[in-house]
Amino acid sequence: MKRRIIPRLLLAFCLPCLLSGCWDIKDINKRYLPVVMGICDGKTETYHVTLQVPTVTGTTQILEQEAKSISKALDLIRTKSEKHVDLLHLRLILISEKMAEKGIDDIIDYAIRADDISIKGMVAIVTGDFQKALHHQVGPTPEVSSYDYFSEEAGWTPNVSLVRLWEAYKVSRSYTQDTAIPLVEAGTDTLYEFRGSAIMRNSKMVGTLTPDETLINNIFSEKYTGGTIETAEDASILIKKATVRHRIKWGDSGPQLNSKLHLDIEVSENKQGLSNQEITEEIKTSIEKRGANIIDKLHTLKADVLGIGQLFKPKMTVAQLKEWKERWYPKLQSKIEVEINIRNNIYLKDKLRENNLRM
């Protein structure tokens, strides 16, 4: 028995050697961990890839390279850098506006295919000076990372649209959806300035939504609440809850959509002392109008940013699904109706002016 124990022990000790995965080991202090990747047109080559690497001292190190493909550019960056470049923590991909107009299919495909980039990373398009936006550093708060701007756990607000890599990939191939990717510019007092969203049609940028339109768009896609809306008559409201109910019908002329948007709001500013009734009316007409405008705009661009095609999936055959963006979406007749419920006026009462008069 004793004789057999020794070879067994030896065998057992061999296994941990294999298990350690020695081939993949690279110490953390021997790695660059970029969090932001910027991609724009190169001067001489197809792509100009920029990596932002946060350093221990709080500054950001920039690695840049031009090449015919993104992976070649990364390969060249790895060649010239002292440490291993590891994309595991890449959280934000910034694409220049010019590139987005030509189409971002190749970039998204690369990011999904790459085995070291997580598909939950975010995508944004940079308008204006691309290099300035990437080399931009904000002095007093060194711990700020540029992807905090988009993080739902950090500085993100409902005005900003939010698109993850997998969502961008999904809509680039989907029959029934398009998307709006956030549009940013180098900021003055902060890292980025929000400039609205880029309307993508089949992963080509075809137009823009202003920040206000983006907020309305976000409300309609039922995603985000907490944004502030101003009305013409010097009153501001906060949106607490937004629910949308869609009624779909497939008539002889094509798809028909009736949407009912129900908003729970709070009045946050009321300079002229309007009654809640008046504010309700005003907000209702204003949102209905803005909504109709956006829908018209998206219609003319043939971009189904709101994902209305998804709603019609139950009514369509496979053949119709494939024709949605080209044939059926332009024929869509849609109507929006807004219902407003003013939850409260926060610490003040309704009809302030009338109360004052009584005193």
Beta carbon of residue 118, minimum distance to other proteins (angstroms, whole number): 6
Residue 185, both tokens: 């510019």
Beta carbon of residue 250, minimum distance to other proteins (angstroms, whole number): 13
For other proteins, give the closer residue by CB, 174 or 280.
Answer: 174
Residues 6+ apart with CB under 8 A from 101: 204, 205
Beta carbon of residue 51, minimum distance to other proteins (angstroms, whole number): 19
For other proteins, give the closer residue by CB, 116 or 269.
Answer: 116
Position of tokens 């939010």? 162
Residues 6+ apart with CB under 8 A from 299: 329, 330, 332
For other proteins, give the closer residue by CB, 145 or 344.
Answer: 145
For other proteins, give the closer residue by CB, 57 or 317.
Answer: 317
For other proteins, give the closer residue by CB, 15 or 357.
Answer: 15
Q: How far apart are CA 204 and CA 296, in angstroms?
A: 19
- Asked if 93 and 121 touch (Cβ cutoff 8 Å), the reply is yes
- H or E segment and range at residue 220: helix 211-220
Binding site for other proteins (CB under 8 A): 15, 18-19, 21-24, 88-89, 112, 115-116, 118-120, 151-153, 164, 166, 169-170, 173-176, 310-311, 313-314, 316-318, 321
Q: What is the DSSP string of 305-328?
A: TT-HHHHTGGG--HHHHHTIIIII
Q: How far is CA 274 from CA 152, 338, 349, in A?
A: 34, 20, 12
For other proteins, give the closer residue by CB, 111 or 342.
Answer: 111
- Asked if 95 and 40 touch (Cβ cutoff 8 Å), the reply is yes
Beta carbon of residue 202, minimum distance to other proteins (angstroms, whole number): 13
Beta carbon of residue 166, minimum distance to other proteins (angstroms, whole number): 5
Beta carbon of residue 278, minimum distance to other proteins (angstroms, whole number): 38
